[in-house]
Amino acid sequence: MGDYIKREDVLSAFKNAIPDVFEYDTYDELLLDEGISRERCQKIISNIPTADVQKVKHGTWIFDGECGITKCSNCKWSIEEYFTNPNTRKPYVFCPNCGAKMDLEGEE
């Protein structure tokens, strides 16, 4: 997995950066524009700390009414509880075993 940085950190770093490229009007010697060089941009971005991220796994709870077991569709970890109400068949938002986010639909 690649490195990830927060957008807010990048925007803040460039907002606080001191320009190192200047464009002047050759006639009046007035400052027309200022900016940051490519090398300086690379250095600014390289100095931003990387975020601690992990790929999100997705799943759903699969309910087996015959034996009263609810299983994670991702790792097959089971909860040996009988959920008679269809609205309570989703005991956890995340699987306690594999960490899958239970946001997929239709596999019950």
Query: 83 in a domain, yes or no?
Result: yes
Residue 9 is predicted with a pLDDT of: 92
Residues 18 and 38 occupy one common structural domain: yes
Residue 97: exposure state from Cβ atoms within 10 A (0-12, 13-18, ≥19): middle
Q: Is the pLDDT of residue 36 over 60?
A: yes
Residue 22 in this model has a pLDDT that exceeds 80: yes
Residues 42 and 67 in one domain: no
- List the domain range (segments joined by +) for residue 85: 58-102
Band of residue 55 on the pLDDT scale cut at 50, 70, 90: confident
For the ranges 53-57, 66-70, 73-77, the lowest mean pLDDT is seen at 66-70
Contact 81, 68 (CB under 8 A): yes
Residue 27 has pLDDT above 70, yes or no: yes
Whether residue 84 is predicted with pLDDT greater than 70 in this model: the reply is no
Question: Does some domain include residue 68?
Answer: yes
Number of domains within the chain: 2
